[in-house]
A and B are shown apart, each in its own frame.
Chain A
Amino acid sequence: MGGKSMRKYLIRDNVPKVILLNHLLLLWFISACAYVGFITYYDPITYKSLTDLKPEVMALYGTFTTDSVDASQIAATRLKLAQIYEYEKGKGEKNRETYEQIKKIQAMFERHVSDRLTTGRWTTTHLNNQKQNIAEAFDIAIKTERLKNKNE
């Protein structure tokens, strides 16, 4: 049987088997990609860490309208952010989006704190603007964690 006839035979008489094989190969490929390239599953520890820290940061910012600065509270918040970052980074590249988000929250926090320390106490307008932005940063990271699938 020649090549063309063979192809016609395979295609005409064995269509279901050929299609099935192709689909199985495709599914195997997708599964391999899933193992390698997707994302981490939802982590309740991550969710709780972020939801707990957000009000702490809001409370800290509230003190920035006064003359005194609580350096220990700033340091404690900085430490918690660093701990969250290391925890997320430890999950590897499949968690890249989350640890990159934490890094941005850290950068925003540092910029805000530096502003307070160098320019003095905040006005109400400035406080509200800063709070709105850092709160939104936390909200984005919290929602991102909720978007992840549960490992069931």
Chain B
Amino acid sequence: MGSKWEDFIDNLRDEAGKLAKDELKDLIKTAKDDSEDFIKEQGQKLEIYLTQLASGQITKNQFEGYVLDIKELTEMKALQMSVAAKASAQRMVNGITDLIIDGLLMLI
């Protein structure tokens, strides 16, 4: 027998077969085990939200809002990673310019 949130997903009526239940459960479990702290945290939050939904602590609309929040947070995180990479490259270029072009090469 799975956890409360897994049972909740399994017991959802899906006559049209729209929900890939196993894939959804795997997504959450994989995220929770991810080495990247941010992804792990979002996976844990999804688990918490599903458990809250299963126990009636939150509504379906509220759950949907949280999922949109997670989507947006993940997109923000991707933007942060872009800045980190660009800042690193910028430091490299500035170092090359200041220390090598304007410094070392002038002495050679």
Q: Which residues of A contact B (CB under 8 A)?
A: 24, 27, 30-31, 33-34, 38-39, 97-98, 100-101, 104-105, 107-108, 111-112, 115, 119, 123, 125-126, 129-130, 132-134, 136-137, 140-141, 143-144, 147-149
Contacts and interface: CB of A to CB of B under 8 A. Distances in A.
Contact of B58 (A101, A126, A133): A126
A34 B87 contact: no
B33 interface: no
A119 B52 CA distance: 18
A30 B62 contact: no
Interface string B57-84: 1110110011011101101110110111
A28 to B, nearest CB: 9
B100 interface: yes
Interface stretch (B6-14, B17-25, B88-96): B88-96
B75 A27 contact: no
Contacts of B86: 38-39
B88 to A, nearest CB: 9
Interface of A is mostly: helix
A149 B96 contact: no
Which residue, of B52, B66, B79, B96, has the highest number of chain A Cβ atoms within 10 A? B79
Contacts of A130: 65, 69
17 contacts: A27-B101, A38-B93, A97-B79, A100-B79, A101-B80, A104-B72, A108-B69, A115-B62, A129-B58, A133-B66, A133-B70, A134-B69, A136-B73, A137-B73, A143-B80, A147-B83, A149-B91
A39 B87 contact: yes
A27 B59 CA distance: 57
A129 B44 CA distance: 12
Interface string B38-49: 000000010001
Contact of A34 (B76, B79, B90): B90
